[in-house]
Amino acid sequence: MIIIITEDTNLGAKSREDGRAFDELRPLKIEAGVLERADGSAYLEFGGNKILVAVYGPKESHIRRFQRPDRAYIRCRYNMAPFSVDDRKRPGPDRRSMEISKVTAEALQPSILLEKYPRALIDIFIEVLEAEGGTRCAGITAASVALADAGIPMKDMVVACASGKVNDQIVLDLSEVEDKEGQADLPVAIMPRSGEITLLQSDGSLNAGEFEKAVDLAVEGCQAISKVQQDALKKRYGE
């Protein structure tokens, strides 16, 4: 069992269990081009999350289901390693990973110029090597970098971040503990140039005012993370 001692004297902006301000992100690190075989790849550490993404394509597919006459098809697979969570996870897809794969593909799709590659398949493989809250957002953020690393033409680089409600406060980027014990979790992905929202889910209880505040906060978080994405690509490819 994990026993977490919270001091009563923590007040105001520093009231979170790990001492972060309400609008403070966990430490974030992104590296592009980390795999040999994949056409593009990225590795991301975000708090205790460790995520690896590989992209293959655009490539020919022999499978009818993965063909569209007028554009490329995105197949996305979000997967957790058996050792990524406290209790060993059985290998293979489950209902949660199926849903995350679907919304992740939908979150990334608006940014990709799919119509350039009719009938082609683009594979996005997201591996959660270690999970500590917020893996779906971290996966989307890393996937965009891997897509760019693969040279897939994009309008913008989608970026994701969650906000939520913990101890009656709207906070940014929930940790695993905050996610479990909090009152709401709201993952958001945006295209940072237009600010448009490509992923939005909500789980928990928020009134309209709190909801709006949470969306705003998550979008701010996304904008901050977007810079780290760009730095990762600059580091690999130069300015």
Q: Which of residues 112-131 bind other proteins (CB under 8 A)?
A: 123, 125, 127, 129-131
Binders of other proteins in range 65-104 (CB under 8 A)? 65, 68-69, 77, 79, 81-88, 91-93, 95-96, 98-99, 101-103
Q: Could you tell me the smallest distance in angstroms from the CB atom of residue 165 to other proteins?
A: 11
- Is residue 220 close enough to count as binding other proteins by CB under 8 A? no
**Cα–Cα nearest to 160, from 124, 129, 186:** 186
| Residues contacting other proteins: total by CB under 8 A | 71
Q: Could you tell me the smallest distance in angstroms from the CB atom of residue 220 to other proteins?
A: 12
Q: H/E element holding 47?
A: none
What gap in Å lies between CA 141 and CA 34, rounded to an integer?
A: 15
**Sign (positive/negative) of CA torsion 205, 208, 210, 212?**
positive
Residue number with CB closer to other proteins (84 or 229): 84
The answer to whether residues 214 and 184 touch, using CB atoms and an 8 Å cutoff, is yes
**Which are the contacts of 58, defined by CB distance < 8 A and separation ≥ 6?**
72, 116, 117, 120, 121, 122, 152
**Cα–Cα nearest to 82, from 128, 124, 140:** 128
Where on the phi/psi map is residue 57: left (φ > 0), alpha (ψ -120 to 50), or beta?
A: left
Q: H/E element holding 210?
A: helix 208-237
**Which are the contacts of 9, defined by CB distance < 8 A and separation ≥ 6?**
none
Q: Could you tell me the smallest distance in angstroms from the CB atom of residue 173 to other proteins?
A: 18
Residue number with CB closer to other proteins (123 or 173): 123
Q: Could you tell me the smallest distance in angstroms from the CB atom of residue 224 to other proteins?
A: 17
Binders of other proteins in range 11-70 (CB under 8 A)? 35-38, 41, 48, 50, 52-54, 56, 59, 65, 68-69
- Residue from 109, 169, 223, 230 binding other proteins (CB under 8 A): 109
Other C-beta atoms lying within 10 Å of the C-beta of residue 140: 31
Q: Could you tell me the smallest distance in angstroms from the CB atom of residue 13 to other proteins?
A: 25
Taking contact as CB under 8 A, which single stretch among the options 19-27, 133-141, 189-197, 226-234 is the one that binds other proteins?
A: 189-197
Residue number with CB closer to other proteins (23 or 71): 71
